[in-house]
Chains A and B, each alone.
Chain A
Amino acid sequence: EPEVTQTPSHQVTQMGQEVILRCVPISNHLYFYWYRQILGQKVEFLVSFYNNEISEKSEIFDDQFSVERPDGSNFTLKIRSTKLEDSAMYFCASSANREEPQHFGDGTRLSIL
């Protein structure tokens, strides 16, 4: 069964550094998403991306965050200057269209020191 793959599984970064989280969505999917889950809290929406532009973003997704689809297969989340509170599990998801369920990857655990 096709799946969303995320790399790396764990990323440790010094505060203030830039970090890029990578995702390969399911190949025929057109809608891409990032979510995060801070330890002990609920999964929170960050951003959705369709047709090479952001279609929706949450309050969390401020100017420190950006997304990109650099080629036909990858979807990335960049955090420009990481803060301690960015430590979380980041999940990438994709869907064939807006009405279809979103399918999630296994996540990247981001630890900011």
Chain B
Amino acid sequence: DQQVKQNSPSLSVQEGRISILNCDYTNSMFDYFLWYKKYPAEGPTFLISISSIKDKNEDGRFTVFLNKSAKHLSLHIVPSQPGDSAVYFCAARRSGYALNFGKGTSLLVTP
């Protein structure tokens, strides 16, 4: 049941550059999308979200873009910092309560 897909298992970016993490979904009923960051031995930490009525949401260095026609969202981190190195999960929700997660993308920001 791969309703939310993160096709890149890993990404390496230099410090100061932009990190772009991508997510695709198949269920057009999803109305709310979230990005979480996860460090080893910790739970997912909420980063940023976007409702399906918007196409962009920005919070500091983090921006999420939603392209509903392509069923695609992306997370931009600018500028990337070494502390951003973590696993990033995309999640989506329909009308209920359950979050559907992707498998995650491991981001490494190198000095």
Q: Are B44 and A56 neighbours in the complex by a CB distance under 8 Å?
A: no
How many contacts A-B (CB < 8 Å)? 53
Q: Are A103 and B98 in contact (CB under 8 A)?
A: no
Q: Mark A79-113, 1 if CB is under 8 A from B, else 0.
A: 00000000000010100001101111111000000
Report B70-111 CB contacts with A as 1/0, cut-off 8 Å: 000000000000000000010100001111111110000000
A106's contact among B32, B41, B101, by CB below 8 Å, is which? B41
* Count of interface residues, chain B, beta-carbon cutoff 8 Å: 21
Bound form: Cα–Cα A20–B18 in Å: 43
A18 to B96, CA, bound (A): 29
Cα separation A35 to B36 with both chains bound (whole Å): 14
Contact partners of A56 in chain B: CB under 8 A: 96-98
A101 to B93 alpha-carbon distance, docked (Å): 11
Contact between A45 and B100, CB atoms less than 8 A apart: yes
- Interface residues on chain A, size class: 20 to 34
User: Residues of B with Cβ closer than 8 Å to A?
Assistant: 32, 34, 36, 41-46, 49, 89, 91, 96-104
Q: List 26 A-B contacts (CB under 8 A).
A: A31-B97, A33-B97, A41-B103, A42-B102, A42-B103, A43-B89, A43-B99, A43-B101, A45-B97, A48-B96, A48-B97, A50-B97, A55-B96, A55-B97, A56-B98, A58-B98, A91-B43, A91-B44, A93-B43, A98-B97, A101-B46, A104-B45, A105-B43, A106-B41, A106-B43, A107-B43
